[in-house]
Homo-oligomer: A and B are copies of this chain.
Amino acid sequence: MAAIKPSSTIQENKQYALELCPVTYVMEKIGNYWKPIILFHVAKGPLRYSEIKRAIPAITEKVLIQHLKQLEADGLVIRESKPVVPPHVTYRLSASGKGLYPVIEAMAAWAFEERAGRFA
């Protein structure tokens, strides 16, 4: 665990925002390049770790597992493992994570509109 530098303005923002700005609250949990992408795929149903990896070829295993752990810690995804060999682990959205459906869907919808040049 890296020590937190208290003078960082992004740290200040955490305090401010949790009170006043709803979007900042969200960014604290999924304000990262990979997290929404991961959530988008995990939303498709319980997926095994390896399936998620295959769905996002460009992500490295370190970064993937790191974010999965974080998302789990933040209560957005649920990890389930069967005690078999080779290991069998699945990830799915929690109730809270499912609450992000509208966000993810709105993103996907915007991407299609944008690519179709419908805003131009």
Q: Footprint of B on A, CB under 8 Å?
A: 9-10, 12-13, 16-17, 21-27, 31-33, 36-37, 40, 56-60, 75, 94-96, 99-100, 102-115, 119-120
Complex CA gap A26/B107 in Å reads 6
**Contact check: which of B21, B96, B110 meets A37 at CB < 8 Å?**
B21
Q: How far is the CB of A73 from chain B (nearest CB, A)?
A: 15
Q: A9-B58, A57-B16 are in contact. Are A110 and B114 (CB under 8 A)?
A: no
Q: How far is the CB of A2 from chain B (nearest CB, A)?
A: 17
**Contact check: which of B22, B32, B99 meets A108 at CB < 8 Å?**
B22
Q: Which residues of B contact A31 (CB under 8 A)?
A: 32-33, 36
Complex CA gap A33/B100 in Å reads 17
Do B99 and A119 touch across chains, with their CB atoms under 8 A apart?
yes
Q: Which residues of B contact A106 (CB under 8 A)?
A: 100, 102-103, 105-106
**Contact check: which of B37, B94, B103 meets A107 at CB < 8 Å?**
B103
Do A27 and B21 touch across chains, with their CB atoms under 8 A apart?
no
Complex CA gap A68/B29 in Å reads 23
Do A60 and B9 touch across chains, with their CB atoms under 8 A apart?
yes
